[in-house]
Amino acid sequence: MLKYIGKRLIMLIPVILVTSFLIFWAMSLTGGDPALMLAGDNAKPEQIEQIREELGLNDPFIVRYGNYMKGMLTGDMGKSYVTKRDVFKTFMERLPNTLMLGGAAVLIAVVVSLPLGIYTAIHQNTWKDTAGMIFALFGTSMPNFWLGLMLILIFSVGLGWLPASGYGNSWTQMIMPVVALGVNSSATIMRTTRSSMLEVMRQDYIRTAKAKGQTYWMVILSHALKNAMIPIVTVIGLQLGVLLAGSIVTEVIFSINGVGKYLVDSMNARDYAAVQGCVLLIAFVSAILNLIVDIIYTFIDPRMKTMYESSKSGFFRFKKRGEKKAA
């Protein structure tokens, strides 16, 4: 397992390199001059040129990219053009708010969707199943930014029950952002749980467990749900990345000082250093979350451990039937 984790971390290197090159290239095509925005509309050409020289914007693309990657090797992701603060330090200061928002949304989504998915599966083709699927359709069809605006309009402007913005000062500030971010994921996980449970409940070993006289809920929870968890965990892992991206819009709507709002503010200000650093760090966090999900697989299904048998060439292979473990 440790070898697998180490190799997965090594595999992050090309991911970071490709991501860094693409975002660097994309930012060079966006247009606009950061030096002009920093200097102001009334700045003289000499002042603008001086700022461009200080920021290294006059250097060729490949030189600027090389200098940036050289700084990354030493842990320096540059300083913001606007605030003059270290990008990595600012990112880490805002990351807890984003992780708290995304974590709470995933927790609520799992708590709601798992029981609902199981319930609709065991009541297939009834009005209860239809009601659950209507909820799933509603959740997957509704953009989180629209839901966030509707929640503010109803519960803040209309009823005055909840604060419209802010985060961290009171638990009431978490309700609307978490709901707006988690409804879509809840619907997706619920549909996956339902379909996976329906597939497993048709298997022979479920009929065998019933024939042995096990109780109904013992069959559902110990046999059906346990074997249906692999696709469910996969979807939950994918939703972590979706929520990380979706938090960008949610943080802007509810004025939450997280990574997403920092990224949007930096893009509006043509703060190339902050945008590049944020995208790279978000990609790294997403890769780590995917690695954690892969490790969880081995605890849910021991058969998945055979995927982590390494060959002499260093790649992973499935263990052949009857193959003994090397001494």
- Domains delineated in the chain: 101-257+286-317 (1.10.3720.10)
Per-residue confidence (pLDDT) for residue 227, from 0 to 100? 76
In the chain, which ranges are E strands? 309-310, 316-317
Per-residue confidence (pLDDT) for residue 305, from 0 to 100? 59
Amino acid identity, position 40: G
Is the C-alpha dihedral spanning 12, 16, 17, 18 positive or negative? positive
Helix 172-201, helix 87-122: angle, nearest 10: 50
Q: Which tokens is 269 given?
A: 């200000």
Q: Which tokens is 206 given?
A: 């479920």
pTM of whole model > 0.85? no
Asked whether 99 and 179 are in contact (CB, 8 A), the reply is no
The single residue listed with the structure tokens 């021991």 is 302
Other CB atoms within 10 A of residue 183 CB = 22
Q: How many helices (H) and strands (E) does the chain have?
A: 13, 2
The single residue listed with the structure tokens 């972590």 is 240
Other CB atoms within 10 A of residue 140 CB = 15
pLDDT tens track, the chain, 327 positions: 667 667 767 777 777 778 778 877 777 776 666 666 666 667 677 777 777 777 667 677 787 777 777 777 777 777 777 777 777 888 888 888 888 888 888 888 888 888 888 888 888 888 888 888 888 888 888 887 888 888 888 888 878 777 777 666 677 778 888 888 888 888 888 888 888 888 888 777 777 877 877 777 777 777 777 777 878 887 887 777 777 777 788 888 888 888 888 888 887 777 777 887 788 877 777 777 777 777 777 676 666 656 555 444 444 444 444 454 443
Q: Which residues contact 171 (CB under 8 A, 6 or more apart)?
A: none
Q: What is the DSSP string of 16-58?
A: HHHHHHHHHHHHHHS---HHHHHH-TT--HHHHHHHHHHHTTT
Other CB atoms within 10 A of residue 80 CB = 21
Per-residue confidence (pLDDT) for residue 1, from 0 to 100? 61
Per-residue confidence (pLDDT) for residue 176, from 0 to 100? 85
Query: Vertex 310, ends 304 and 313: CA angle to 5°?
Result: 145
Per-residue confidence (pLDDT) for residue 317, from 0 to 100? 47
* Alpha-carbon gap, residue 262 to 274, rounded angstroms: 8
Per-residue confidence (pLDDT) for residue 77, from 0 to 100? 72
